[in-house]
Amino acid sequence: MYVFDPTWNDRLLRGLCAGGAARFLAVRCSDVARYAAELHELDAGAARTAAEAITAAVLMSAWIKGEERVTLQVQAERPVFSFIGDVDAAGGLRARFSPRRLARPADGRIEGLILAIKADRDREIYRGVTPLHGERIDAGLRAHLGSSDQVDVALRIEATAGEDGKLALATGILVERLPEEPGKPSLSREDFAARFAALDEADPAALLADIEAGRLLGDPVETLEERRLHWRCACGPERVEAVLAGLDPVELRAMADEDGGAEVTCHFCNLSYRVEADRLREMAAAKEGAPET
């Protein structure tokens, strides 16, 4: 299922800042996060936590290309929840969060772990696990990038709720110090940390508005790419039939005769697809008449 609402304002911006000594990623994914919350009927605490995880996944997807995709999983022990989301190089994403109701800590801190996977159509390229020891998701992602990519980053992820308790804004800002090279702009690790320490206290909506206007913490930025975000899932009637076609003809006939058909629910979209009994019998007959290989 592909959903792109022209009224959505979700996007990922990528570019240079600090005079070319650092690169930035800025994400607004409020509309996609609200859509995920509606699909999975999440309450306010679950919706905010899911939005933070979705934002983290989008930030991790900024440098992929072609058929590559990034999958982010969060398994939390306190509070107890699970999240999985994946993002492709075209800005398509899908996500699943459970349970529907979550007693979210006021500070958003989590005990658990983050699993990040980068893959293309044929193979897994990278896999890394980072523990969360009473940390926010953005702190865990910062630790992951620091340990796996060996880079200095400043990072802020924020999901805020409106007066009605529903998700209002989901944003993420990531700044990465570029390696020092002769003849090119550079920042020492100490200067980088001091320059972008204000990200931790700045208003996330104001930060994003400033970047969209061409500035970050008072300094000009150069935007190199803008990528629109949308909901993308592989589910659909054809996909469901392709999965059922892998079953034995006996199983297909049993579902037709005993259950009157088959119903499959997508874990990501929470949509159900019905395959009627007659169609199951047609699929079984086709498999029985197929020549052996």
What's the token pair of residue 143?
Answer: 């630790």
Packed helices 30-39 and 44-60: angle between N→C axes, nearest 10 degrees: 130
**2-232 CATH:** 3.55.30.10
* Cβ atoms within 10 Å, residue 254: 14
Q: How far apart are CA 186 and CA 198, in angstroms?
A: 19
Q: Tens-of-pLDDT digits for all 293 residues of the chain?
A: 667 677 888 999 999 999 999 999 999 999 999 999 999 999 999 999 999 999 999 999 988 999 999 999 999 999 999 999 999 999 999 999 999 999 999 889 999 999 999 999 889 999 999 999 999 999 999 888 877 667 899 999 999 988 787 899 999 999 999 988 888 899 999 999 999 999 988 888 899 899 989 999 989 999 999 999 999 987 777 878 888 888 888 989 898 898 888 888 877 887 788 888 899 988 888 888 755 43
Q: Which residues pair with 118 in a beta bridge?
A: 70, 126
Contact (Cβ atoms closer than 8 angstroms) between residue 175 and residue 14: no
Residue 187 CA to residue 180 CA, distance in Å, equals 7
Selected from 3.40.1440.60, 3.90.1150.10, 3.50.50.60, 3.90.1280.10, the CATH number assigned to the domain covering 237-288 reads 3.90.1280.10
Sequence ranges of the domains in the chain: 2-232, 237-288
The SS3 call for residue 148 is helix
* pLDDT for 293: 38
Number of residues that this document lists for the chain: 293
DSSP 290: S
Q: Residue 65 and residue 28: Cα distance in Å, rounded?
A: 20
pLDDT value at position 270? 77
User: How high is the pLDDT of residue 88?
Assistant: 94
* Reduced 3-state DSSP string for 177-228: ECCCCCCCCCCCHHHHHHHCHHHHCCCHHHHHHHHHCCEECCEECEEEEEEE
Q: What predicted TM-score, i.e. pTM, was given to this entire model?
A: 0.86
